Amino acid sequence: MFLSTLPVDFVVIRAGMPTSLRSAAVARFNDPSSATQVLLTTFNCGATGLNMHAQCSRIIVMESALNHNSLFQTIGRIHRLGQRDEQRAWLLF
């Protein structure tokens, strides 16, 4: 994976991951004391149940969604009550 060659701390959520590993990845990403800056996932794996607004104000979408609603929902994960930072989204597809 390309990110492995960079000095960037990241976590990944993949299809088939046990719930415990998925929860640990989300907790690590959301932990303010963690150095983790990037969470990698897909629409299928991250479409529901992820609240990232506490630590995440940027999103880069690198694959097209099945429909516009899925795309808007995904971007909306960073735009929630309690978000203190300006949100930005980039679409790279």
Q: Which residue has the higher pLDDT, 43 or 16?
A: 16
CA torsion through residues 52, 54, 55, 56, sign = positive
For 2-91, which CATH superfamily applies?
Answer: P-loop containing nucleotide triphosphate hydrolases (3.40.50.300)
Question: How far is 81 from 12, CA to CA, in rounded Å?
Answer: 25
Is there a contact between 41 and 13 (Cβ–Cβ < 8 Å)? yes
Q: In this predicted structure, what is the pLDDT of residue 73?
A: 84
| pLDDT at residue 58 is higher than 80 | yes
| pLDDT at residue 65 is higher than 80 | yes
| pLDDT at residue 70 is higher than 80 | yes
User: What are residue 10's DSSP bridge partners?
Assistant: 38
